[in-house]
Structure 1
């Protein structure tokens, strides 16, 4: 599975597409395509088959046009991925303003978790240079509002948002990997364990791994597999929030002092 990098194309062209400020011809026939149609087609391909399957030719075939016509609207795959990312981020919804801050961050984390499951290809995109489009900036704004007024510094607010969204992405990656492993191998986790267990029972001495055998058996029964991505996500999210709460309390205690 290949990795793509956001911001890898022409920054000016990407920003023009992201903010829809491209210069359009004032005369001539009505365009047969639009950037929106191209992005929707590209997203459907990536959703179903991953970014490895995405190419300008594949998009053109899907839309029933010549490959070169795509380049009239989008300069290349890199710029297209930037727009795809921003459009996908626009699907996430902000938390209600009346919620407590922990519930707001839970909502944000779960929205990110759901987003990566709807569009697993997003996990193939390294966003060290994020696509600075309107949806990304809107999302960042309401995520910051979730922790505004808690006594944190601006840098701490940014770090809290990065911690929560990064945790959601990492957890979603594990979950997506499990689903893809089952789909690509054709066997479930339970079937894999049933195939390996008879051999392991012969070669493993339980007395050598008493904790591993006991805890592993309990976890395997609970998860019905080697790992439980949803359980890990929910458990880890609460521990992340506990840590943030400790930070918030320490800031409040410092102000009182």
Structure 2
């Protein structure tokens, strides 16, 4: 079997070996990699750590199944794409709303996916099924090809961007030792006090001193998703 070059796509160059003839499999490797990535604040793993988790002496043994580290990233990302869903049969808006909400649920479970979604092309079977289903619900609108994909990517951009923010916050909290909101507030309190005492930013300081400043948050993921869908709908020609 020919392994893909670094950066190549695993879908075309490295078919999965038969499950019945090898102690390892793509499924086992991807499952173990996902578990490792979920445990790391930044979601980054090494092939050596993965080999150790699988009880394999050399990381090189993994490459015959995934081709390269990029191939592993493709497989991991496509597994998460499989958790997205598209509502079918009731028009473009319910379809894209479910795309957004199901995607956000998947990204919250696997924040590292957001980074891979920007780094690797979505050409795995689950990603292609997802795009195809979303585009099918947009077909009745008779929009240009670029506009149809623009609708889908607007929603996915919200999912991926929110996921990256979550990933970076997770990494930041782990780095400075503030796992809870209370820990983070306590670490920021001395700086906020100095800002308030300086008096140069009174409007910010008044906001920071308000105990209700975070409750309720008006810009939830779902609220922003609905604002985006409202905007997309406003640009459609009248029927």
Q: TM-score range by the shorter chain?
A: 0.7 to 0.9
Aligned partners of 1:8, 1:161: CA distance in 2, in Å? 29
Offset, 1:161: 0.5
Unmatched runs of 5 consecutive residues or more in structure 2:
none
Deviation at 1:198, TM superposition (A): 5.3
When residues 46 and 198 of structure 1 are mapped into structure 2, their CA distance, relative to the original with a 3 A threshold, is: closer
Q: Helix, strand or coil: the match of 1:62? A: helix
Q: Deviations over 1:155-188 (max 9, x none)?
A: 1010011111001211232234334433443323
C-alpha distance 200-42 of structure 1, shift in aligned 2 (>3 A): closer
Contact 2:95–2:137 (8 Å) recurs in 1: yes
Report the TM-score, using the length of structure 1 for normalisation: 0.75
Describe the shift of the 1:184–1:124 C-alpha distance in structure 2 as closer, same or farther (beyond 3 A).
same
Map 1:55-204 → 2, pairs under 5 A: 55=47, 57-67=48-58, 68-98=60-90, 100-125=91-116, 127=118, 129-187=120-178, 188-197=180-189, 200-201=192-193, 203-204=195-196
User: What residue is the counterpart of 1:245 in the other structure?
Assistant: 233
Deviation of residue 210 (structure 1)? 4.9
What is the rounded CA distance, in whole Å, between the counterparts of 1:65 and 1:123 in structure 2? 28
Contact 1:51 1:121 in 2 (8 A): yes
Structure 1 residue 246, shift from structure 2 partner: 0.6
Q: Which residue of 1 aligns with 2:7?
A: 9
> Structure with the greater relative contact order (CA < 8 A, sep ≥ 6): 1 or 2?
1
Instruction: State the distance in 2 between where 1:139 and 1:87 align.
Output: 12
**1:91-139 deviation per Cα after TM superposition (whole angstroms, max 9, x unaligned):** 22222423x4323222111111111111111123263650411111001
In 1, are the aligned partners of 2:7 and 2:70 still within 8 Å (CA)? yes
The root-mean-square deviation of aligned C-alpha atoms, in Å, is 3.2
3-state DSSP of counterpart to 1:223? coil
Indicate yes or no: 2:27 matched with 1:36.
yes
Query: What is the TM-score with the length of structure 2 in the denominator?
Result: 0.80
Secondary structure (helix, strand or coil) at the match of 2:65 reads: coil
- Is contact 1:109–1:164 with CA below 8 Å preserved after alignment? yes
Structure 1 unmatched ranges of 5 or more = 1-6
The verdict on how the C-alpha distance between 1:70 and 1:215 changes in structure 2, with shifts beyond 3 A counting, is same
Q: Deviations over 1:209-229 (max 9, x none)?
A: 4543455555x62426xx95x
Structure 2 CA distance for aligned equivalents of residues 23 and 173 of structure 1: 33
- Determine the C-alpha separation between the residues in 2 that align with 1:160 and 1:166: 10
**1:53 and 2:53 are equivalent in the alignment:** no
